[in-house]
Amino acid sequence: MTTYAQAKASVLAKAPVAMTGASGFIGRALVRRLRDRDVPLRVLLRRPDPELEALGVEVVQGALDRDDSLRRLLEGATTLVHCAGAIRARRPADFTAVNETGTARLVRLAAESAARPRVLLLSSLAAREPGVSAYAASKRGGEEALLREAAGLEHFCLRLPAVYGPGDRATFGLFQQLSRGVGILPAPLTNRFSLLYISDLEKLVEHLLRQSAWSGGIAEVDDGRPGGYAWGELPEIAARQLDRRVRAVSIPRSLLWATATGSEGIAALFGQAPIWTRGKLNEFSHSDWVSRGPGPTEVEGWQPEVQLDQGLVATISWYREAGWL
Ligand SMILES: NC(=O)c1ccc[n+]([C@@H]2O[C@H](COP(=O)([O-])OP(=O)(O)OC[C@H]3O[C@@H](n4cnc5c(N)ncnc54)[C@H](OP(=O)(O)O)[C@@H]3O)[C@@H](O)[C@H]2O)c1
């Protein structure tokens, strides 16, 4: 008779797991976690990445708009973890091209492949409010593409809140300020949001890969703090955990709008994708980015362990040790 542990191990041993976005913040953490457990991985990379290659992954050079590379990625794969995504872009259409059209192409090719892998999509709570920004609309578009193109493939979707932790560049600026005793808050102090620490997301993905069947559901997940966090709480939590004064600085929306417009203009001059945009400001201005609970049973048995008090200290320590701070 097969034991539960053997059954779990065999689900993970079915090789290989194909992954997109492996060079990003979340993907890289997932690769480390899964390679630690000897899960065979094949990853899609746009450019060489010696660190990932040293972890023993099989690399397919390519991109979401190159069918040939996607077909190679999917060959014989039992599971596809799709975490490539554009979180910043020069133009709204660039979000669509990657997050919606790219997802549609990838899932269609997965459905057409002989292997027909099950698909895990890393989406965002932003998908709940597609009218808020071009990013949000593209993440909703990606979810709809998954449903439309899956053609009977097993699939599951995680709507993530803001994910943070060692190695993250997107939230680095905020942690940098807090570590220096200032919290510049780009949103009304009562606006609420959920968070998820990266190691808890790693555990969740591992947990999902161990499940033998996925229902096609969408799970909104978070770090387990009921009601999430209010922006106004951040400086208080940082002050308590870092044992220093942290001054909250609220900036009027008109000024935030002007700085976002300026940031877009400067980025356009240099041909870069800006981080701080009017779309991002609209996202921050939305009052409720709190996860509404995981729902689907696949998530049962996973318990997040790190809330912001611990996660903030661990993240700032990592930034210091890595020389970022
Ligand atoms: N981080 C968060 O707080 C958060 C929250 C909610 C949802 N998510 C979602 O989680 C996913 C990963 O986010 P992240 O924070 O890890 O982002 P990230 O650090 O910016 O990584 C994005 C990844 O996607 C890859 N990528 C982008 N465009 C691509 C294309 N056209 N073809 C192939 N690969 C492409 C990037 O490759 P290169 O290295 O070549 O650029 C990189 O590996 C995204 O889908 C994001 O929307 C993230």
- What percent of the chain clears pLDDT 90, i.e. is strictly above it? 90
CA of 263 to the centre of ligand 1 (A): 21
Strands 58-61, 41-45: parallel, antiparallel or unpaired by DSSP? parallel
pLDDT band, residue 239 (cuts 50/70/90): very high
**Domain boundaries along the sequence of the chain:** 4-163+195-222+290-305
Q: Ligand 1 centre from 83 Cα, in Å?
A: 6
| Each residue's pLDDT tens digit, 116-165 | 999 999 999 999 999 999 999 999 999 999 999 999 999 999 999 999 99
Distance CA 232, CA 288 (A): 14
Is residue 94 within 8 A of residue 82, CB to CB? The reply is no
Q: Is the CB of 273 under 6 A from ligand 1?
A: no
Ligand 1 centroid, distance to 28 Cα (angstroms): 10
CA-based angle 30:197:286, to the nearest 5?
115
In terms of CATH, what superfamily is 4-163+195-222+290-305? NAD(P)-binding Rossmann-like Domain (3.40.50.720)
**CB 62 near ligand 1, within 6 Å:** no
Output the residue whose Cα is nearest ligand 1's atom 21: 24
CA of 87 to the centre of ligand 1 (A): 6
Least trusted range by pLDDT, from 20-29, 80-89, 293-302: 293-302
pLDDT of residue 14: 58
**pLDDT(15) > 80:** no
pLDDT at position 12, please? Answer: 58
Element (H, E) at 28: helix 25-36
Rounded to the nearest whole angstrom, what is the distance from the C-alpha of residue 65 to the centroid of ligand 1? 15
Evaluate if residue 296 carries a pLDDT over 90. no
Q: What is the pLDDT of residues 22-40, one digit of tens each?
A: 999 999 999 999 999 999 9
- DSSP, residue by residue, 229-293: EETTHHHHHHHHHHTS--EEEE--HHHHHHHHHHHHHHHHHTT---SS-HHHHHHHH-SEE----
Which of 146, 113, 141 shows the shortest CA–CA distance to 127?
141
Q: Which residues pair with 80 in a beta bridge?
A: 18, 119
- Does the CB atom of residue 20 touch ligand 1 within 6 A? yes
Q: Which pLDDT belongs to residue 8?
A: 44
| Residue pair 192/287 in contact by the 8 Å Cβ criterion | yes
Q: Whose CA is nearest to atom 22 of ligand 1?
A: 24
